[in-house]
Amino acid sequence: MEKIRLGISTCLLGQNVRYDGGHKLDRFLTDTLGQYVEYVPVCPEVECGLPIPRESMHLEWDPESPRLVTLRTKQDLTDRMVNWAQKCVVELEKEELCGFIFKSDSPSSGMERVRVYNEKGMPVKKGVGMFARIFMQHFPLLPVEDEGRLRDPKLRDNFIERIFALKRWRKVLERKESRGNVVDFHTRHKLLILSHSPRHYQTMGKLVAKVKDLPLKELYQTYQALLMESLYLKTSPKKNANVLQHLMGYFKEQLSPDEKKELLEVIDHYRQEYIPLVVPVTLIQHYVRKYDQPYLKEQIYLNPHPLELQLRNHV
Ligand code: SF4
């Protein structure tokens, strides 16, 4: 698979663009995820024309519509940043991004819970960085995260699963539009979708069942929106256990009573969070290979991202 293009706050790559001339290198992003990703760096403060080093700044007043103001000289940089950001997001349309990783807590780049100071100088953690807000409004379906949240294994798994899924969907978009391509993509992603949202699994199943009744453009747009919406919802041990039992059903004829008992036990141990997801998935993969199950071989759920990322190894 060719590399996934992701936007990223430049300082996370180790470039010295911060107000103090430093950086915020994140080794997981550069060394581990970086093997599968081509980053498109964006530093809003430098790219809107501010120097390095520069006066530090923060957000002030209304958390819904704050001002970006420097701390010492009280320069209001809001209009400068907004004007630049609005042009930047239009330029970024050409980059075919599958997501963005923001620097947490930054008044320019933070995607949530950024401090906004009221008139008494008291902070509330309810703001969104100036650039991050405009980016997320412009690309509402793109997966976004910040490096702080990506330290949580579940959020990391969810984000990476979404960027890989979006990359596969983009591959479908590169081909000539056809109903068959959407059906084929959906068939391979069915169980992945089920593991996130049984409701979307039903809705998308109905959508795909009536592909012939929908204009192609509408089908593609609706499918893409539902896909990203479904994968945004978190999986859980209960939802995954449901999918694993569904997978087990494909081997009713082949497995001995003892093998069935063992697999059920492993799934139950996973559901109770004694063992990680990789354990039942590996056992099922073994049966898929052994019994050459053609439908399951194609299921992205069994292999949604590279094993080396170890995303299913946590309990
Ligand atoms: S947080 Fe954003 S604005 Fe600040 S240095 Fe990093 S990329 Fe630049």
Report the distance separating Cα 18 and Cα 137, nearest Å.
25
Report the distance separating Cα 194 and Cα 189, nearest Å.
9
Q: Which of 125, 124, 129, 126 is nearest to 100 (CA)?
A: 129
Answer for the pair 277, 312: CB distance below 8 angstroms, yes or no.
yes
**Ligand 1 pocket mutation, candidates 6, 12, 13, 18, criterion most atoms within 8 A of CB:** 18
Tokens 């798994």 found at:
157
For position 268, what pLDDT does the model report? 97
Report the distance separating Cα 119 and Cα 125, nearest Å.
15
For position 177, what pLDDT does the model report? 87
Tell me the DSSP string of 207-262: HHHTGGGS-HHHHHHHHHHHHHHHHHSPP-HHHHHHHHHHHHGGGTTTS-HHHHHH
CA 158 – ligand 1 centroid, Å? 24
Q: List ligand 1's pocket residues with C-beta within 6 A.
A: 9-11, 17-18, 43-46, 103, 106, 108-109
For strands 67-70 and 57-60, give the pairing.
antiparallel
Report the distance separating Cα 268 and Cα 271, nearest Å.
5
**Ligand 1 pocket mutation, candidates 106, 112, 130, criterion most atoms within 8 A of CB:** 106
For position 315, what pLDDT does the model report? 85
Walk across the sheet containing 4-9 and list its strands. Answer: 37-42, 4-9, 100-102, 144-146
Helix (H) or strand (E) holding 295: helix 294-297
Nearest-CA residue for ligand 1 atom 4 is 18
Answer for the pair 70, 53: CB distance below 8 angstroms, yes or no.
no
CA 151 – ligand 1 centroid, Å? 19
Q: Give the number of the atom of ligand 1 that is nearest the alpha carbon of residue 18.
A: 5
What interhelical angle do 198-209 and 216-232 show, nearest 10?
170
Report the distance separating Cα 135 and Cα 93, nearest Å.
10
CA 78 – ligand 1 centroid, Å? 15
CA 20 – ligand 1 centroid, Å? 11
Per-residue pLDDT of the chain (315 residues; tens, 9 = 90+): 799 999 999 999 999 999 999 999 999 999 999 999 999 999 999 999 999 999 999 999 999 999 999 999 999 999 999 999 999 999 999 999 999 999 999 999 999 999 999 989 999 999 999 999 999 999 999 999 999 999 999 999 999 999 999 999 999 999 988 999 999 999 999 999 999 999 999 999 999 998 888 899 999 999 999 999 999 999 999 999 999 999 999 999 999 999 999 999 999 999 999 999 999 999 999 999 999 999 999 999 999 999 889 888 888
Instruction: Classify burial at 74, counting beta carbons within 10 Å of its beta carbon; exposed 0-12, middle 13-18, buried 19 or more.
Output: exposed
**Ligand 1 pocket mutation, candidates 15, 19, 20, 45, criterion most atoms within 8 A of CB:** 45
Q: Give the number of the atom of ligand 1 that is nearest the alpha carbon of residue 110.
A: 1
For position 47, what pLDDT does the model report? 98
CA 12 – ligand 1 centroid, Å? 8
**Ligand 1 pocket mutation, candidates 103, 115, 128, criterion most atoms within 8 A of CB:** 103
